Amino acid sequence: MNEDVFNMSMRKFLKVVGVTSQQEIEKAVRAAIEAGKIKGKETLKAQMVLTIGGIGLTHKIDGTIDIG
């Protein structure tokens, strides 16, 4: 395994995950506020699940996002 290639590829993937996840969360929160589903002062429970089928990895992260 080429450690440099692996590291660069993994960092690129995680950067895309981080940027696109933030964009999707922002859109969903704004839409929920506009629809009256939330007021915009809540703390939201969040969960991220990473799966890589080829190696049998499933990793779940639980957290919160404060929008107030």
Exposure letters 28-60 (e unless 16+ CB within 10 A, then b): ebeebeeeeeeeeebeeeeeeeeeeeeeeeeee
At 45 the three-state DSSP class reads strand
Count Cβ atoms below 10 Å from residue 20 Cβ, excluding itself: 10
| pLDDT score recorded for residue 38 | 97
pLDDT at position 37: 97
Q: How far apart are CA 33 and CA 26, in angstroms?
A: 11
- pLDDT confidence of residue 22: 98
Chain mean pLDDT for the chain: 97
Q: In degrees to the nearest 10, what's the CA dihedral of 5, 50, 21, 62?
A: -130
* Segment 15-47, tens digit of pLDDT: 999 999 999 999 999 999 999 999 999 999 999
| Percentage of the chain exceeding pLDDT 90 | 99
